[in-house]
Amino acid sequence: MKSQKVRKAVIPAAGLGTRFLPATKALAKEMLPIVDIPTIQYIIEEAVASGIEEVLVITNSNKHAMENHFDVNYELEERLKASGKDKQVKLIRDIANLANIYYIRQKEPKGLGHAILCAKTFIGEEPFAVLLGDDVVVNKNSKPALKQLIDAYEQTKSSVVGVQTVAKEDVCKYGIVELDRMHSHEGRLVKLSSMVEKPEIDKSPSQMAVLGRYVLTPEIFELLETQESGAGGEVQLTDAIKRLMDRQAVYAYDFEGVRYDVGDKFGFIKATIDFALDRDELHNQVLEYIKEIAGEE
């Protein structure tokens, strides 16, 4: 296959967000703010910083707020201008200009694999990135997580999944990879021999979990079209990638960065605290409050 630049990304965002009910009854979980920025904005900013030019968001019928967030709001801009709030005008205009963002609906909740299949026409015959909205990764002063995977793809010309080590008791929550140490590259890049979705703890092949970042070759779509339902009765992307290994090499990249599982309530709280501490205007207040409540223990 001719090597091509990774310039398109798919963000599956059709989930119901049931872990955050009742907040997500009317608001998309991807719009829940970490301090004052919606989660999905962090994801798209990472994609853009990694060189992505076009983004397709897989949505459902209840995600209008997400589309509105990345659109131009002329009425709001005019009101801000009239109030002399030029800084805020630039802020919201920059959001609308982040990237070329497109949307398509996943009409039935058939799983991550089915959501990715919805992007087939948009992607065509190009390699592409996938970023899951539940995983926010921060890698200060270095490459974004997705850019690390894109660089690994350019080195191998093969699909690459982003992994990190998770606690043994948590392997049942993720797709887990089995590494082929006989064909490893230097450093963080390792060829895969197998994958399994949400294994039982005592049957897990490793503690290396796929954490929301992928670069995939377009051959994955042919496999997704014939992929049977797997864990949870859904079409699993992990199962299709496992079948892809029978045709071509697939690699894991142990990406650098602090990853927050913002689809989990405690993970979301951790992200909010850390992001607030990283803001100059909030750092001292938040730190003092943490010290205050810790002193009450």
Q: Domains in the chain, please, with CATH?
A: 8-263 (3.90.550.10), 264-297 (no CATH)
Q: What pTM was estimated for this model as a whole?
A: 0.90
Residue 51 is predicted with a pLDDT of: 94
Is the pLDDT assigned to residue 229 strictly greater than 80?
no
Is the pLDDT assigned to residue 254 strictly greater than 60?
yes
**3-state secondary structure string, the chain?**
CCCCCCCEEEEECCCCCHHHCCHHHCCCHHHCEECCEEHHHHHHHHHHHCCCCEEEEEECCCCHHHHHHCCCCHHHHHHHHHCCCHHHHHHHHHHHCCCEEEEEECCCCCCHHHHHHCCHHHHCCCCEEEECCCEEEECCCCCCHHHHHHHHHHHHCCEEEEEEECCHHHHHHCEEEEEEEEEECCCCEEEEEEEEECCCHHHCCCCEEEEEEEEECCCHHHHHHCCCCCHHHCCCHHHHHHHHCCCCCEEEEECCCEEEECCCHHHHHHHHHHHHHCCHHHHHHHHHHHHHHHHCC
- Report pLDDT digits (tens) over 67-95: 889 988 999 999 999 999 999 999 988 89
Minimum mean pLDDT range among 185-189, 247-251, 273-277: 185-189
pLDDT tier, 153 (very low <50, low <70, confident <90, very high otherwise): very high
Give the mean pLDDT of 210-227.
Answer: 93
Mean pLDDT (the chain, rounded): 89
Give the mean pLDDT of 213-237.
Answer: 88
- Report pLDDT digits (tens) over 7-53: 999 999 888 788 888 988 888 889 999 999 999 999 999 999 999 99
Is the pLDDT assigned to residue 277 strictly greater than 90?
yes
Residue 184 is predicted with a pLDDT of: 53
